[in-house]
Amino acid sequence: MSDFHNKNYKGKLSKKIKNIKPDIIVITGDIIDRRKVRLNLVTDFIKEIKDIAPIYYVSGNHEFLSGTYNEVKELLERKNVKILDNSFIVIEKEKDRIGLMGVEDPTSRRNPKHYTSKNNREYMKKSIEKLSKLRNTDFTILLAHRPEQFKLYVEEKFDLVFTGHAHGGQIRLPFIGGLFSPNQGIFPKYTCGIYKEDETSMLVSRGLGGSAFPFRLFNRPDLVVLTLKSCNI
């Protein structure tokens, strides 16, 4: 899930997650809204879901732009959420081993010149290359906030990538798709669903809340459920 943005679902969202019975829960950033930070909603939500399954989190731009990243991180760690910003771990289930990598959002550097797609790519590439030295599994999942860096994820040969940030294109029109996305601009290419190239599949969540433009049209909030199946060759 991504782009929670302080939304209060009054227990309905956590009930849905519980009924799904997931093995893991992933959060790919923007768990708060930088314009109106409400950490109490984050606390309440994590309390509701923390016993359902292990939770893995990477940062989004709103956590850093709000200036409350450290508070958010401490809050999540107190609730046993695993922070994967620039980290790599291995998840084992029965006989399968899956690599899970997370990359910190580029806005961590707090310098406006780094908000360009090119410089964001350079930062993320260096972070991923450093972590890739630890990769020791046949299947690796990447948690990253930004779908616009899909080509980078393909180059780095990730099997599966979870992202958000695009808000589903905010307004969606038939045959056209999303109209606008941060860092992609008008008629963005990556807004929701699964995108595939070579051996990489990227799943983009539409998110659960809103931000600067809080209205959605033909663009319902998105709770993504994905099942991995092993193939015996």
Q: Is residue 163 part of a domain?
A: yes
Beta carbons within 8 Å of 110's beta carbon, 6+ residues apart:
64
Region 150-177: what's the mean pLDDT? Answer: 79
pLDDT digits (tens, 9 = 90+) for 22-57: 999 999 988 887 778 888 888 999 999 999 999 999
Task: Indicate whether 133 pLDDT > 90.
Answer: yes
pLDDT score of 152 more than 70: yes
* CATH number of the domain enclosing 40: 3.60.21.10
- DSSP letter at 145 equals S
The alpha helices in the chain, defined as continuous H runs, are 12-20, 39-49, 61-65, 69-78, 117-132, 150-155
Q: Look at residue 218 and tell me if it is in a domain.
A: no
Is residue 160, in this structure, part of any structural domain at all? yes
Question: Is residue 5 a part of any domain in this protein?
Answer: no
Considering the domain boundaries, does residue 183 fall inside one? yes
Task: Answer whether 165's CB lies under 8 Å from 61's CB.
Answer: yes
Please give the tally of structural domains in the chain: 1
Domain region containing 104? 12-204
Name the percent of the chain in helix, strand, coil, to the closest 5: 30, 20, 50
Per-residue pLDDT tens for 195-204? 999 999 999 9
Asked, for residue 106, whether it belongs to a domain, the answer is yes
Confidence of residue 139 (pLDDT cuts 50, 70, 90): very high
Please tell me the predicted confidence (pLDDT) of residue 7: 64
Does the residue 98 lie in any domain?
Answer: yes
Q: What pLDDT, on the 0 to 100 scale, is given for residue 166?
A: 64
AA identity, residue 38: R
- Tell whether 179 is covered by a domain: yes
Assign 232 a pLDDT band (cuts: 50, 70, 90): low
